[in-house]
Structure 1
């Protein structure tokens, strides 16, 4: 018997909920439905879905708060956030809270299945990989354990901050454009939303740099992007 992956759809608009359910079931996924934030959190615990499609505007508990609460409980189920057109700041906040990707309404069935497949694929790759320790100077990262130490003191990161740091440390001393980072860390294959990169770089600097105005590790390459300097 085929073991289908399960998607939790959290959406209070019935028409969009039905569209997502039909689209995903046509693509051979199982679906579970929630119409508000409280129900969503309970279903994550009860149903252990493989992925969550989470609307931003929900009754009782909004999507950003749901995402934040799940990540605080160390629930790392991949999340695709649904946002209305033009809500750029909400996209940034959602990604900072631990969402893996977002879709802007209105969206096509083809985009839904493509994004779901991409996020599930990346999630599976992370789970199956066994990686060596990444180290430069007093900064040590354990990718498979989601742990970072600086001067032997453990630091706390959001999921995307951690993914960005790991990518930087795998590409030491290379100039990386913002679009490259968007593609690698957020899986965006188009130019735009580069402010998301800048926000996350700023957060990384706050956590690993002694002096954020004169950073030791993450150097800004004006007009291009960033370079993470270190000893290989």
Structure 2
């Protein structure tokens, strides 16, 4: 699965190492060494995936991620950082990154994570219906688009995957492990707290759009999450 990958890493030796391993996978790789250049290259629409170091000169990786998501960019983003606390990881995810790898890491693990992320964003595990509708929520799985009350809502790849899982079976409560299995894949470890952050972001994006027949993204305490069709909400 060849892809065009932009690597933004201020450590030039580390960037070269990443490039070598990703090129061995058949990818086309470009490297930049500061956040400003990462933004410029990402905005061209060139990369299929961005490997983004957090600590960079000019513009930090967190700011690059924040800016791209504010511009509704859907480029899958894998963040790299020396900060290994859960708070740092959740901050990156909250800003819209799709994956997170802490230093030191194995280049082979990074290459495997890239494969997994590309697979999730390019090849859904199952063939969902062309459109899923719950209340005023419409998910176009072919176009990778979500509309609420006719308004386009920009989601990250993982947010889209989670929303599709929940909306496919309105009313069903999905546990965090089930969401991880369906939306993240079985080939990696994901913290349950990561799911909570993505759902929090989804709720903010989907439910802030005004309109009638609004679907409800609910927390079922002690169990997990579900989407409720507004026609069933009072039952």
Q: Which of 30, 33, 36 is the aligned partner of 1:35?
A: 33
Q: Which of 115, 119, 123 is the aligned partner of 1:121?
A: 119
1:226 maps to 225
Work out whether 1:55 is the aligned partner of 2:53.
yes
Q: Does the Cα contact within 8 Å between 2:74 and 2:155 map onto a contact in 1?
A: no
In 2: Cα distance, 1:24 partner to 1:178 partner: 31
In 1: Cα distance, 2:122 partner to 2:105 partner: 25
1:44 maps to 42
Q: Residues 46 and 137 from structure 1, CA distance in 2 versus in 1: closer, same or farther, beyond 3 angstroms?
A: closer
In 1: Cα distance, 2:167 partner to 2:110 partner: 32
1:148 maps to 147
- Quote the offset at 1:47 in angstroms: 7.5
* 1:134-179 deviation line (CA, Å, top 9, x unaligned): 1223333334252321xx3526343243432222101323221112
SS at structure 1 position matched to 2:55? coil
Q: Which of 101, 104, 115 is the aligned partner of 1:103?
A: 101
Work out whether 1:208 is the aligned partner of 2:234.
no
Q: Does the Cα contact within 8 Å between 1:36 and 1:60 map onto a contact in 2?
A: yes
- Quote the offset at 1:21 in angstroms: 1.6
2:11 maps to 13
TM-score normalised according to structure 1 size? 0.79
* Higher deviation after alignment, 56-65 or 219-228: 219-228
In 2: Cα distance, 1:54 partner to 1:30 partner: 16
In 1: Cα distance, 2:190 partner to 2:29 partner: 31
TM-score normalised according to structure 2 size? 0.78
1:164 maps to 162
Q: Residues 172 and 189 from structure 1, CA distance in 2 versus in 1: closer, same or farther, beyond 3 angstroms?
A: farther
Q: Does the Cα contact within 8 Å between 2:145 and 2:152 map onto a contact in 1?
A: no
Computed over aligned residues only, the root mean square deviation of the Cα atoms, in angstroms, reads: 3.1
User: Which stretches in structure 2 are left out of the alignment for 5+ residues?
Assistant: none
SS at structure 2 position matched to 1:141? strand
Q: Residues 184 and 91 from structure 1, CA distance in 2 versus in 1: closer, same or farther, beyond 3 angstroms?
A: farther
Q: Does the Cα contact within 8 Å between 1:179 and 1:191 map onto a contact in 2?
A: no
* 1:180-227 deviation line (CA, Å, top 9, x unaligned): 2234334465565222222333343444289xxxx9733433333223
* Higher deviation after alignment, 77-86 or 200-209: 200-209
* Higher deviation after alignment, 28-37 or 133-142: 133-142
In 2: Cα distance, 1:175 partner to 1:166 partner: 14
Q: Which of 172, 180, 183 is the aligned partner of 1:182?
A: 180
- Quote the offset at 1:46 in angstroms: 5.0
